[in-house]
Amino acid sequence: MRTFDEEKAKEITECIEFHCTPYHGSWLNMAEIESSVLETECLNRRIPDQDILEKEVAA
């Protein structure tokens, strides 16, 4: 049974992107690690204005 004709199937598969993810981790683990690093490196003190905050986060 075919759901799409060959042309439509090719069009759909060209839109698909594959991303490698860690074998023993998840996106949530990576987000938690990043959040922890951000907290220990630059959010453990008062940052006087938004420009400095943006520079700290981007570093």
**6-42 confidence digits (pLDDT tens):** 888 888 889 988 877 767 777 788 888 888 888 888 7
In a domain, 11, yes or no: no
Q: Identify the domain containing residue 56 by its residue range.
A: 23-59
Does residue 18 lie in a domain region? no
Query: Is residue 2 in a domain?
Result: no
Asked whether residue 9 is assigned to any structural domain, the reply reads no
pLDDT at 53 over 70: yes
How many structural domains comprise the chain?
1
Whether 56 is in a domain gets the answer yes
Report if residue 7 sits inside a domain: no
**CA 26 to centroid of chain Cα atoms:** 11
**pLDDT: which is higher, 35 or 1:** 35
- Residue-level pLDDT at 1: 55
Q: How far is CA 19 from CA 22, 27, 34, in A?
A: 10, 11, 19
Q: CA separation (Å) from 45 to 32, 38, 48?
A: 20, 12, 10
CB neighbour burial string for 10-47, b if at least 16 within 10 angstroms, e if fewer:
eeeeeeeeeeeeeeeeeeeeeeeeeeeeeeeeeeeeee
pLDDT of residue 59: 73
pTM for the full predicted model: 0.40
pLDDT band at 43 (very low <50, low <70, confident <90, very high): confident
